[in-house]
A and B are shown apart, each in its own frame.
Chain A
């Protein structure tokens, strides 16, 4: 069965304190790994797509990396506005319709 596990569940950082969020996956063939940011009561906002081990994507203070078993979302010098829940999702090779399997998310709080 396809599984996505995110850790930690919650993370509290001081402004400027860099850290990483982890997304471990067990899927029958990976056809894409996606990172989203979600603010309370709003829809997820797309951040990155990764397809192959070794691939990296960057956007402002965020950098996503991918290995054969996990993905990391690195946050460099975070600011309070980076506070949100970060969701990881995978598209396995089984099933159709671009169906994604989501992790339960990491709730990030960045304090002044």
Chain B
């Protein structure tokens, strides 16, 4: 299984709502990522989990809260978002980089299209 799945595909929420995005992989990867992508821009890294621990937080506002319950699952909890947070949210997974820190390919899910009203 070489697939990363994300749910939901589309999400519309108000600024006072609380919602969660979910991501799952069964490739045995121990690194998982959240990205945000605006139209005609490259993906922008938000968070990295390595061995279920948060290893990188790219100064993301606290209204985005990541969670990694186990090695296969990654959640992104959303609360009090702003309209400018509307974007495609991508999850990715990869093997955890070894001690040599050679880059390893990341496999992306299909994304969740988020609209904040």
Tell which of B42, B88, B109, B113 has the most Cβ of chain A within 10 Å.
B42
Option from B6, B106, B111, B113 in Cβ contact (under 8 Å) with A98: B106
CA distance A102 to B45 in the complex (A): 10
Option from B45, B97, B104, B108 in Cβ contact (under 8 Å) with A43: B108
A contact residues around B64 at 8 Å (CB): none
Using A97-B56, A97-B97 as known contacts, say yes or no to A43 and B110 having CB atoms under 8 A apart.
yes
B contact residues around A43 at 8 Å (CB): 4, 6, 90, 92, 108-111
Indicate if the CB atoms of B103 and A34 lie closer than 8 Å.
yes
A contact residues around B55 at 8 Å (CB): 96-97
Q: For window 80-110 of chain B, which residues contact chain A by CB distance below 8 Å?
A: 88, 90, 92, 94, 96-97, 101-110
CA distance A71 to B45 in the complex (A): 22
Closest-by-CB residue of B relative to A46 is B105
Q: For window 57-112 of chain A, which residues contact chain B by CB distance below 8 Å?
A: 87, 89-91, 93, 96-100, 102-105
Q: For window 42-76 of chain B, which residues contact chain A by CB distance below 8 Å?
A: 42-43, 45, 48, 50, 55-56
Q: For window 14-61 of chain A, which residues contact chain B by CB distance below 8 Å?
A: 31-32, 34, 36, 41-46, 49, 51
Contacts A46-B106, A98-B103, A98-B104 known; 17 new A-B pairs at CB < 8 A: A31-B101, A31-B102, A32-B105, A34-B106, A45-B108, A46-B107, A49-B104, A49-B105, A87-B43, A90-B103, A96-B55, A97-B48, A98-B94, A98-B96, A99-B56, A104-B41, A104-B42
8 sample A-B contacts, Cβ–Cβ < 8 Å, listed by A number? A44-B90, A49-B104, A87-B43, A96-B56, A97-B55, A97-B97, A99-B45, A104-B41
Which residues of A are interface residues toward B (Cβ below 8 A)? 31-32, 34, 36, 41-46, 49, 51, 87, 89-91, 93, 96-100, 102-105
